[in-house]
Each structure stands twice: as C-alpha cells, then as structure tokens.
Amino acid sequence: MYNRNDFFKKASNSQEKLIISKVLDKVDMCIKKHTMTFTDFLNPTETAFVYNNVLKSIRDVNFLVFGGTEYCERNIIGFSPEYIDICKYDFPIKALKIKRNVKFSSDLSHRDYLGSILGIGIDREKTGDIIIFDDYAICFVLEGIADYLGVNLVKIGRTAVKTDIVDINGLEIPDINIVEKRATVSSMRIDAIVGAAFNISRGKSQDFIRSEKVNVNWIPVNSVSYTVKENDMISVRGKGRFRIGYETGKTKKDRIGVIFLMYV
C-alpha cells in the first residue's frame, strides 16, 4: 500500500491536493471493493499532473486514461484490480449527439454548446470534449447524466436542437486532420521547436513561452531551454498544437531533422 501524505507533498496548492485526494479515493475503492472505479473528467493539465505525481507510483491497480476517443483532451482515469484488465468500453461514457437544422440557424461555437450545457445545471467535470461538425456536435458525458441532458438540452443559445444518446462502442468520428511537416532545428529546445513548427522567429517563440502560453504534454513550460523529445504533444495558445513525430537524423550542417504532426 501507499502513504497518502507522500503524494500530498507533491502538491503545490490546495487544488492539486484536492485532485490527488479524489484520485486516491478511487484507487482505495478499487482495491477494497475489487471493482472498477472511475474519476470524473479531468482537463489536460490535471491529467498530466495526476499521471506524473500519482499514477507512476501506484502499483496495486491497473489504470487507463480515456475520454471517448483517442484524441480527447478531457479524459477520465479508470482503475481496475491488478488481476482484471480494463479497456475503453468499460468507461461510463456516453456520446451525446446534438443536431441542429443548418437552414434555420447560424454557426455554433464550442462556447455556445458548453454554455448551454452548463446552463441547465451540469458541472463541467461531468462533461468531456465537444467535437463540432457542420450540422451536429458530439459531446462526451458521464453515463449518469446522459438521460438528463437528452431530455433537457433543447436549445443551444437560441437555436433549437435535438439530441440522441450514442454508445461509444458504435460511435464513428471522422479522423482528425493531421498534416506532416518536416523541418530542421539547431536543437530540441522548446523555443527552437515552436519556432520551426509555426514558422515564427525564435524570439517570438520565446515570448510565447515566457508568457506561459506553451504546454508540453498539457503541462505549462516557461523555460525557453526546456528540451522536448519524440512523441511529446506541444500546444501554443493562439497558434495550435502538434506532436513531435520523430527525428530524422543530422544534416551536413549538424542540424536535427524533425517530423512535426500538425493538428489542423
């Protein structure tokens, strides 16, 4: 077993302590009741914090992070006894399909959908990603609130909508558009990588970093000399996000070839 206080020492504020406590409550229940347990939805920063400061040190359970699809930013952490495998279809997640008539409504934004959902009394941690398409949106929600949302969500802003509850097992989501980009950099420092990925000067990328607008694996980075590696996910507020695919080796001028997987 583990000592809770060892984990609380890793928290720098009361919010991080609360997150650790909630996660450890799920771990304890999993161990004591020999059953699968699940957190609420966590945002990317919370997920990364829990992974680095809690999950890496837990040995008595299996765990899986999932939010409805492979590319979700908001995710649930599921736990199972070490003798039971856990998979994505075990998660208590439903997909709420929200349909509108495009002939009689203007375009709706992520803020419109989220605002209307929260406006009928739903807590943010009960909802996951919202993926918007031309005439409908998919919102991942906890199973326990799906029926309530299906009945009560009748408008997004002033636009009338209809909802269907879809099991994630049968859900089809179009692939996210990812464009491969090749570049060379002088080093794998975050300022060089961000500059090359978005075709901006190194000085401009340093401004983004120092302004805490750059996340690596959903954790804010404010050091311009931070070193990144293959498969790291990097997001820059106002610019977009990308994953480092792999290094292609050194050029004759001793620069490093890098593949960026740009989310567009």
User: Is the domain of 71 the same as that of 120?
Assistant: no
User: Is the domain of 46 the same as that of 85?
Assistant: yes
User: Is the domain of 29 the same as that of 81?
Assistant: yes
3-state SS string for the chain: CCCHHHHHCCCCCHHHHHHHHHHHHHHHHHHHHCCCEECCCECHHHHHHHHHHCHHHCCCEEEEEECCCCCCCCEEEEEEECCCCCCHHHCCEEEEEEECCHHHCCCCCHHHHHHHHHHCCCCHHHEEEEEECCCEEEEEEEHHHHHHHHHHCCEECCEECEEEEEEHHHCCCCCCCEEEEEEEECCCEHHHHHHHHHCCCHHHHHHHHHCCCEEECCEECCCCCCECCCCCEEEECCCEEEEEEEEEEECCCCCEEEEEEEEC
Range of the domain at 101: 93-170
Give residue 56's pLDDT.
84
* pLDDT average, residue stretch 49-76: 89
Q: Which of 97-101, 117-121, 146-150 has the weakest average pLDDT?
A: 97-101
Residue 145 confidence (pLDDT) above 80:
yes
* pLDDT average, residue stretch 145-158: 94
First to last CA, the chain: 44
Higher model confidence: residue 77 or residue 71?
A: 77
Compute the distance between CA of residue 177 and CA of residue 210 in angstroms, rounded to an integer: 29
Give residue 128's pLDDT.
96
Given pLDDT bands bounded at 50, 70 and 90, which one contains residue 1? low
Compute the distance between CA of residue 221 and CA of residue 237 in angstroms, rounded to an integer: 12
pLDDT, tens digit (0-9, with 9 covering 90-100), for 2-59: 788 888 888 889 999 999 999 999 999 999 999 999 999 999 889 988 988 898 888 8
**C-alpha torsion 72→229→45→49, nearest 10:** 120
Q: Phi and psi for 44 in degrees, rounded to 5?
A: -55, -40
Question: Which of 127, 144, 170 is at the close of a domain?
Answer: 170
Given pLDDT bands bounded at 50, 70 and 90, which one contains residue 142? very high
Give residue 215's pLDDT.
87
Q: Phi and psi for 233 in degrees, rounded to 5?
A: -100, 125
Residue 153 confidence (pLDDT) above 90:
yes
User: Is the domain of 117 the same as that of 143?
Assistant: yes
Compute the distance between CA of residue 80 and CA of residue 215 in angstroms, rounded to an integer: 30
Residue 185 confidence (pLDDT) above 80:
yes
CATH of the domain at 59: 3.30.1370.160
Average pLDDT score over the chain:
91
Compute the distance between CA of residue 170 and CA of residue 220 in angstroms, rounded to an integer: 35
Compute the distance between CA of residue 197 and CA of residue 183 in angstroms, rounded to an integer: 8
Give residue 52's pLDDT.
85
Residue 105 confidence (pLDDT) above 80:
no
Q: Could you tell me the sign of the dihedral formed by the alpha carbons of 71, 72, 77, 80, in that order?
A: negative
- The type of residue at 135 is D
Give residue 132's pLDDT.
86
User: Is the domain of 148 the same as that of 207?
Assistant: no
Compute the distance between CA of residue 196 and CA of residue 216 in angstroms, rounded to an integer: 16
Q: Which of 67, 64, 21, 14 lies closest to 42 in space, CA to CA?
A: 67
Q: Phi and psi for 193 in degrees, rounded to 5?
A: -65, -45
User: How many other β-carbons are positioned within 10 Å of the β-carbon of residue 158?
Assistant: 9
User: Is the domain of 196 the same as that of 151?
Assistant: no
User: Is the domain of 165 the same as that of 132?
Assistant: yes
User: Is the domain of 106 the same as that of 84?
Assistant: no
* pLDDT average, residue stretch 98-122: 88
What's the number of domains the chain is made of? 3
Residue 175 confidence (pLDDT) above 80:
no
Compute the distance between CA of residue 186 and CA of residue 256 in angstroms, rounded to an integer: 6
* pLDDT average, residue stretch 233-243: 90
Question: Which of 90, 112, 131 is at the close of a domain?
Answer: 90
CATH of the domain at 163: 3.30.70.330
Q: What is the pTM of this model?
A: 0.76
Given pLDDT bands bounded at 50, 70 and 90, which one contains residue 115? very high
CATH of the domain at 247: 3.10.290.10
Question: Which of 41, 70, 90 is at the close of a domain?
Answer: 90
Residue 155 confidence (pLDDT) above 70:
yes
For the record, the structure tokens of 136 come out as 């409908």
* pLDDT average, residue stretch 224-246: 90
